[in-house]
Amino acid sequence: MADCLFCKIIRREIPGKIVYEDDELLAFEDINPQAPTHLLVIPKRHIESLNALEDGDDQIVGAIVRRAAAIAKERGISGGGYRTVFNTNRDAGQTVFHIHLHLLGGRGMTWPPG
């Protein structure tokens, strides 16, 4: 997608602090971190939101979630805990329409979220 911010990070057209990359995924630091660890894990293929997922996408969704868990473990926050969030559309506050899993950790968090 030509105009998508996260596709531009994937293509290195805008800078991103990339912490993990493979053939299908990228993980990078959120530009406006809300916790000591705040990363975004994204598929390299442009998918707008969870609403656009199809039957064949189960593998990529699993890979995104498992990568977030692996990074949390590497950073030493898996035992204490962390939060993973997919925001979808207006009511959840989605602002970038390329699926991204937020990985937030390194501090205590409250529930319910705002």
Pairing of strands 18-21, 25-29: antiparallel
Enumerate residues 38-67 that contact ligand 5GP by CB under 6 A: none
| Cβ proximity to Zn ion, 98 vs 102, nearer residue | 98
Task: Give the residue, chosen from 57, 65, 96, 106, that forms a contact with ligand 5GP under the rule CB under 6 A.
Answer: 96
> 45 exposed, middle or buried (CB, 10 Å; 0-12, 13-18, 19+)?
middle
Q: Is 100 a catalytic residue?
A: yes
Residue in the shown chain whose Cβ atom is closest to Zn ion? 4
| Cβ proximity to ligand 5GP, 55 vs 60, nearer residue | 60
Work out the end-to-end distance of the chain between its first and last CA atoms, rounded to an integer number of angstroms: 31
Q: Cα(12)–Cα(8) distance, rounded to whole angstroms? A: 6
| Cβ proximity to Zn ion, 9 vs 35, nearer residue | 9
